[in-house]
């Protein structure tokens, strides 16, 4: 029986990632240990039940595909801690395992699952072997590691309190600013996976370059996002620039582009068609994120919004400055980007006064229709249903 099959059998039915353990064998390698599983509950990820009960959206993957993806994660951790680079670093291995288990697998995993869904749609049926599907799942977890790296550092720079319903990683008493190093190790872990599983793949260099490009573009976008300026700079042009770099590229284009490369599709025209749709979808997603940061229910979103307090250039702030009167702009100048709860309350009241929630709904509808028109105009050789599913999972989301 293959090691992957043993792992899947061992972790069949896995719903939580916090309780699996690794133990050294007689040869000095870390091996997975079976424990009693605790189901994924509202204490770890409170929005799960809400989403599953209320969503009637087309799913990116089947339940079986999701389970296969989830069940691979312990094997991913085992591979990483047994990497030769950590051979004589037993002192830090427990911390590394703890960081992986806490930061990587407990979100919605839409980016990682998008790799799997895209590959299943883009690859020729004859090539959908168990091994190739496993490689798609591994690539998906590499994307989730990049996502975890970004979130660990983003929470720290934003001063966020919670992530996925629990304290941000840096908020743990024994972590603090050392979370920076944990984040960097999460990023470097994905390259360990690429080298182990894809070094002989024809598109290995393409995969590595795409991850590097995604990391660079997102970091530049994050720098723009953290460059807090006065309210006169809260414009839609600046917002589009931030979002195109910070969110859209790695969250939406990266997973599909990885699947294209895994299926040996390097056609630049195909990649450009996909990129046009997916960057627009990423912008759409970020505008929703901005709205939920302000008006979402933390019990559903799993995080407490800080965009107003930190003075971020969000869609809501840019739209407010676009439609506000002179006196209303003065209110923005006086209260936006302040840490006092009373200032935050005044900004939210101003947003309501300016009908920002209604303007958001109008934006959502118009953007959805525009992206749908892009999908309809795709070349026939590209799977329209894949992009429809990606968009359906984004439209009208509540978390």
Q: Give pLDDT, residue 399.
A: 77
Query: How many independent structural domains does the chain possess?
Result: 1
- Answer yes or no: is 397 within a domain: no
For the chain, 399 residues long, give each residue's pLDDT as a single digit of tens: 343 333 334 333 334 555 667 766 666 666 666 543 233 333 333 333 333 433 456 689 999 999 999 999 999 999 999 999 999 999 999 999 999 999 999 999 999 999 999 999 999 999 999 999 999 999 999 999 999 999 999 999 989 999 998 999 999 999 999 999 999 999 999 999 999 999 999 999 999 999 999 999 999 999 999 888 889 999 999 999 999 999 999 999 999 999 999 999 999 999 999 999 999 999 999 999 999 999 999 888 888 899 999 999 999 999 999 999 999 999 999 999 999 999 999 999 999 999 999 999 999 999 999 999 999 999 888 999 999 999 988 888 887
- Answer yes or no: is 211 within a domain: yes
Containing 22, the helix (H) or strand (E) segment is strand 21-24
- Answer yes or no: is 288 within a domain: yes
The strand pairing partners of 162, in sequence order, are: 167
Considering the entire predicted model, what is its pTM?
0.85
Domain membership of residue 59 as a residue range: 3-392
Q: Give pLDDT, residue 229.
A: 82
Q: Give pLDDT, residue 381.
A: 84
- Answer yes or no: is 399 within a domain: no
- Answer yes or no: is 377 within a domain: yes
Q: Give pLDDT, residue 374.
A: 94
- Answer yes or no: is 153 within a domain: yes
Q: Give pLDDT, residue 357.
A: 97
User: Nearest to residue 71, comparing CAs of 34, 43, 122?
Assistant: 34
| Residue 246: DSSP 8-state | I
- Answer yes or no: is 398 within a domain: no
Q: Give pLDDT, residue 393.
A: 86
CATH number at residue 244: 1.10.600.10
Return d(Cα 90, Cα 180) in angstroms, integer: 20
CB atoms within 10 A of CB 24: 13
C-alpha 106, offset from chain centre: 11
Q: Give pLDDT, residue 26.
A: 63
Catalytic residues: 108, 149, 154, 158, 163, 225, 246, 285, 289-290
The conformational region for residue 163 under phi > 0 = left, psi -120 to 50 = alpha, else beta, is beta
Q: Give pLDDT, residue 163.
A: 93
- Answer yes or no: is 185 within a domain: yes
Return d(Cα 309, Cα 333) in angstroms, integer: 13
Give yes or no for a contact between 11 and 20, defined as CB atoms under 8 angstroms apart: yes
Q: Give pLDDT, residue 204.
A: 97
């Amino acid at each position: 029986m293959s090691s992957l099959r043993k792992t899947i059998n061992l972790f069949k039915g896995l719903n939580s990632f916090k309780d699996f353990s690794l133990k050294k064998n007689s040869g000095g390698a870390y091996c997975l240990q079976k424990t009693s599983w605790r189901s994924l509950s509202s204490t770890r990820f409170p929005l799960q039940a809400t989403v599953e009960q209320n969503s009637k959206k087309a799913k990116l993957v089947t339940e079986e595909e999701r389970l296969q993806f989830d069940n691979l994660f312990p094997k991913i951790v085992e591979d990483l801690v047994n990497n030769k680079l950590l051979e004589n670093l037993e002192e830090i291995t427990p911390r590394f395992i703890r960081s992986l288990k806490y930061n990587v697998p407990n979100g919605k995993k839409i980016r990682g699952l998008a790799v799997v869904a895209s590959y299943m749609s883009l690859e020729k049926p004859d090539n959908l072997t168990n091994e190739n599907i496993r490689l798609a799942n591994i690539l998906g977890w590499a994307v989730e590691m990049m996502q975890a790296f970004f979130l660990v550092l983003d929470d720290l720079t934003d001063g966020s309190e919670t992530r996925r319903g629990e304290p941000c990683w840096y908020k743990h008493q024994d972590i603090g600013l050392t979370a920076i190093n944990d984040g960097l190790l999460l990023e470097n872990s994905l390259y360990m996976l690429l080298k182990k599983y894809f070094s002989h793949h024809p598109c290995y260099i393409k995969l590595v370059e795409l991850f590097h490009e995604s990391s660079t573009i997102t970091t530049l976008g994050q720098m723009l996002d953290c460059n807090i300026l006065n309210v006169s700079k809260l414009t839609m042009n600046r917002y589009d620039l931030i979002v195109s770099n910070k969110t859209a590229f790695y969250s939406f284009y990266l997973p599909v582009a990885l699947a294209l490369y895994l299926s040996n599709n390097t056609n630049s025209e195909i990649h450009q068609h996909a990129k046009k749709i997916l960057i627009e979808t990423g912008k759409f997603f970020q505008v929703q994120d901005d709205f939920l940061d302000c008006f979402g229910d933390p019990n559903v979103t799993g995080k407490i919004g800080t965009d107003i307090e930190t003075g971020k250039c969000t869609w809501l702030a840019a739209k407010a400055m676009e439609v506000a009167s002179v006196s209303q702009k003065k209110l923005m100048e006086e209260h936006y980007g302040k840490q006092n709860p009373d200032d935050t309350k005044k900004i939210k009241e101003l947003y309501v006064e300016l009908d920002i929630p209604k303007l958001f709904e109008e934006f959502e509808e118009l953007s959805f229709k525009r992206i749908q028109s892009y999908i309809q105009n795709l070349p026939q050789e590209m799977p329209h249903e894949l992009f429809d599913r990606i968009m359906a999972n984004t439209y009208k989301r509540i978390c």
